[in-house]
């Protein structure tokens, strides 16, 4: 696992598998002389047990008081945060809550299959707990350490269906950072062939993300690690060309991505 800071209030961890990326975001520092703990959220998750353990350790050592979890969408590899922070509640878009309601066993089975295939030993199974369904578009507050409350800030939640039928992107305004789930990846082409994803919705989400990308210093996709705003803008253009014309990006045209490309073309309605 790699861990790095792209901003004083944003830590990023990148898993060894699929370069699965998660972010830890905390409220900014206030102006008071005495600062208390600043609330933090873990958005998405790394995959392997040791990575989840290290994520909790890194957060604690860096002074990120993780009180809550967010998942950009309902794919199992983004839902593992409670292994690192078992007492934290998991917040998801209302669309994701609807997807997982009564069907969380699918994520549990998918994780069990992954662990079995890769000989991963994990303490206990996946327990999502009671999901907090968040309205999207919307905002969610983070409590700062300034007693005056002046440092409290809000994360912006933006709808992001397309890769799957559910999902959201998270904009961190004080850090100019976009956490976008499985979009704008430097290693993976756009995909919409699973969980009722849609090429049309994917294209619409790219339009939603465009003004945020234009403002971003950093973009944190679900796979591939953090990228700066200029590179994210270039990937956005490539992804638009792919969704509109199936123009496969040269940097993402290996055998695995060609297989995903074939599944996209075979998806219903394309």
User: Does residue 168 fall inside a structural domain?
Assistant: yes
Q: Rounded to an integer, what distance in angstroms lies between the CA atom of residue 218 and that of residue 6? A: 7
CA-to-CA separations, 81 to 13, 96, 148, 225, 266, in angstroms, rounded: 12, 16, 31, 17, 33
Q: Specify the range with the lowest mean pLDDT, choosing from 32-41, 72-81, 231-240, 255-264.
A: 32-41
Query: Can you give the pLDDT at residue 189?
Result: 96
220: Cβ–Cβ under 8 A, 6 or more apart, which residues? Answer: 6, 10, 12, 21, 23, 43, 177, 178, 179, 180, 226
User: Does residue 257 fall inside a structural domain?
Assistant: no
- Structurally, the chain folds into a number of domains equal to 1
User: Does residue 130 fall inside a structural domain?
Assistant: yes
Q: Rounded to an integer, what distance in angstroms lies between the CA atom of residue 17 and that of residue 118? A: 11
Query: Can you give the pLDDT at residue 227?
Result: 97
Query: Can you give the pLDDT at residue 124?
Result: 83
CB 251 within 8 A of CB 188: no
Q: Rounded to an integer, what distance in angstroms lies between the CA atom of residue 260 and that of residue 206? A: 19
User: Does residue 82 fall inside a structural domain?
Assistant: yes
Query: Can you give the pLDDT at residue 270?
Result: 55
The 10 Å CB-count burial string (b at 16+, else e) for 112-141 is eeebeeeeeeeeeebebeebebbebeeebe
Within a 13 Å sphere around the CA of 89, how many CA atoms are in the beta-carbon half? 8
Residue 33 has pLDDT above 90, yes or no: no
C-alpha torsion angle, residues 256, 112, 70, 144 (rounded to 10): -120
CB 197 within 8 A of CB 264: no
Average pLDDT, the chain: 91
Q: Specify the range with the lowest mean pLDDT, choosing from 45-49, 142-146, 159-163, 175-179.
A: 142-146
User: Does residue 173 fall inside a structural domain?
Assistant: yes
What is the average pLDDT across 111-125? 90
Beta pairing class for 131-134 and 138-142 = unpaired
- pLDDT band for position 31 (cuts 50, 70, 90): low
User: Does residue 134 fall inside a structural domain?
Assistant: yes
Edge-to-edge strand list for the sheet holding 65-70: 2-7, 10-14, 21-26, 39-43, 65-70, 89-93, 131-134
Q: Rounded to an integer, what distance in angstroms lies between the CA atom of residue 178 and that of residue 216? A: 6
What is the average pLDDT across 145-159? 73
Q: What does the pLDDT look like over 58-74, one tens digit per residue? A: 999 998 999 999 999 99
User: Does residue 190 fall inside a structural domain?
Assistant: no
What is the average pLDDT across 93-112? 88
End-to-end, the C-alpha distance of the chain in Å comes to 37
| Token code pair at residue 99 | 């997807």
Beta-carbon count within 10 A of 88 CB: 17
Predicted TM-score of the model (pTM): 0.92
User: Does residue 107 fall inside a structural domain?
Assistant: yes
3-state secondary structure of 196: coil
Within a 13 Å sphere around the CA of 175, how many CA atoms are in the beta-carbon half? 29
Q: Rounded to an integer, what distance in angstroms lies between the CA atom of residue 201 and that of residue 223? A: 20
- The total number of residues written for the chain in this structure: 270
User: What's the maximum distance between 2 C-alpha atoms anywhere in the chain?
Assistant: 60
What is the CATH classification number for the domain harbouring 91?
A: 3.60.15.10
> Which domain range does residue 36 map to?
2-184+218-229
- pLDDT band for position 254 (cuts 50, 70, 90): very high
């Amino acid at each position: 696992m790699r861990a790095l800071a792209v901003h004083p209030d944003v830590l990023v961890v990148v898993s060894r598998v699929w370069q699965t990326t998660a972010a830890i975001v905390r409220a900014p520092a206030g102006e008071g002389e005495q600062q208390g703990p600043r609330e933090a959220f873990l958005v998405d998750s790394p995959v392997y047990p040791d990575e989840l353990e290290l994520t909790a350790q890194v957060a604690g050592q860096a002074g990120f008081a993780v009180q809550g979890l967010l998942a950009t969408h309902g794919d199992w590899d983004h839902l593992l945060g409670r292994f690192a922070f078992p007492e934290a509640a998991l917040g998801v878009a209302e669309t994701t809550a609807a997807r997982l309601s009564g069907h969380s066993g699918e994520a549990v089975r998918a994780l069990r299959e992954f662990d079995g295939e890769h000989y991963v030993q994990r303490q206990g199974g996946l327990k999502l707990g009671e999901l907090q369904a968040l309205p999207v578009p919307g905002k969610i507050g983070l409590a700062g350490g300034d007693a005056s409350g002046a440092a409290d800030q809000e994360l912006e939640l933006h709808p992001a269906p397309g890769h799957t039928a559910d999902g959201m992107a998270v904009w961190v305004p004080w850090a100019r950072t976009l956490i976008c789930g499985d979009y704008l990846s430097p290693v993976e082409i756009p995909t919409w062939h699973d969980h009722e994803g849609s090429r049309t919705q994917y294209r619409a989400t790219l339009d939603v993300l465009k003004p945020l990308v234009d403002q971003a210093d950093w973009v944190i996709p679900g796979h591939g690690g953090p990228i700066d705003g200029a590179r994210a803008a270039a990937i956005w253009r490539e992804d638009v060309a792919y969704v509109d014309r199936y123009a496969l990006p040269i940097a993402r045209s290996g055998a695995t991505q060609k297989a995903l490309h074939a599944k996209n073309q075979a998806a219903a309605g394309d």
